[in-house]
Amino acid sequence: MNGRVYAMNREKSLVAVETEWHGVIIIELLDQASVEMGDPFSWDSDLDDGPQRYKNLGTGLTVSVLVRAHMVSKSEVRKHLSL
């Protein structure tokens, strides 16, 4: 699956990744990865929760994440990121 960083809460290490088929996925960064708005990501699982490995296609680095929510609408992103 592929997506792009849509929104972020850097203080809480939360990132919203917009996908083509499953709305927005909310992930928590588990390591000190450098992630920027618009960064493209790729990962293996469509709708798996819990710990995952996502590849930042912009930097080429693989980051450890915790998947928090799937199929979030854009109107609910702020709530999930606690912005």
At a CB cut-off of 8 Å and minimum separation 6, what does 25 contact?
A: 3, 16, 17, 19, 67, 69, 70, 71, 72
Domain count, the chain: 1
Range of the domain at 11: 2-81
- pLDDT tens for 32-71 read 888 999 999 999 987 888 999 999 999 999 999 999 999 9
Q: Full-prediction pTM beyond 0.85?
A: yes
- pLDDT tens for 12-39 read 999 999 998 889 999 999 988 889 999 9
Euclidean distance between CA atoms 57 and 9, whole angstroms: 20
At a CB cut-off of 8 Å and minimum separation 6, what does 10 contact?
A: none
